[in-house]
Amino acid sequence: MQAIRNRDTKPEWLIRRLVHARGLRYRVAAKPLPKLRRTADLVFGPTKVAVFIDGCYWHGCPEHYVPPKTNPGYWSDKVARNMARDRDTDQRLEEAGWTVLRFWEHEPAEDCAERIAAEVEKRRGPAQKTREGP
């Protein structure tokens, strides 16, 4: 269990690199809500956009999740609790005015970055729009 990363995974790194290349800045592994003990993978504070990149196994991807053969009761319950926590996190953030974007680790990074950039730009005011370089 110690070898399993909870941040800086390859899918996160790829998406962050693409979002950064679009000129967007964000916080990594930050709490969107100070009193909520949960972190988002990317947080765009001024526009209130929280991004989560969920692992297929740990978050119960409908396409790729395969129940474990060893100690299935424990691990299946763990994944179910993770899924319930994800829904609770989404609800709490949305109630606080945040937009929550969730992606599976198997989704193409370019598609994820494009959706993130579009949402952040949509929520920005006209004075905050980024300028294209020469």
In DSSP terms, which residues pair with 51 in a beta bridge?
42, 101
| C-alpha pair distances (Å), 84 with each of 65, 111, 132, 133 | 16, 26, 41, 43
**Model-level pTM?**
0.88
pLDDT at 134: 44
Q: Give per-residue pLDDT as tens, 84-123.
A: 999 999 999 999 999 999 999 999 999 999 999 999 999 9
pLDDT at 130: 53
In DSSP terms, which residues pair with 50 in a beta bridge?
43, 100
CA distance 79 to 58: 6
CA distance 111 to 103: 10
pLDDT at 7: 81
CATH architecture assigned to 10-120: 3-Layer(aba) Sandwich (3.40)
Q: Give per-residue pLDDT as tens, 26-67.
A: 999 999 999 999 999 999 999 999 999 999 999 999 999 988
**Residue ranges covered by each domain of the chain:** 10-120
- Residue 133, pLDDT above cutoff 90: no
pLDDT at 43: 98
* pLDDT average, residue stretch 11-18: 97
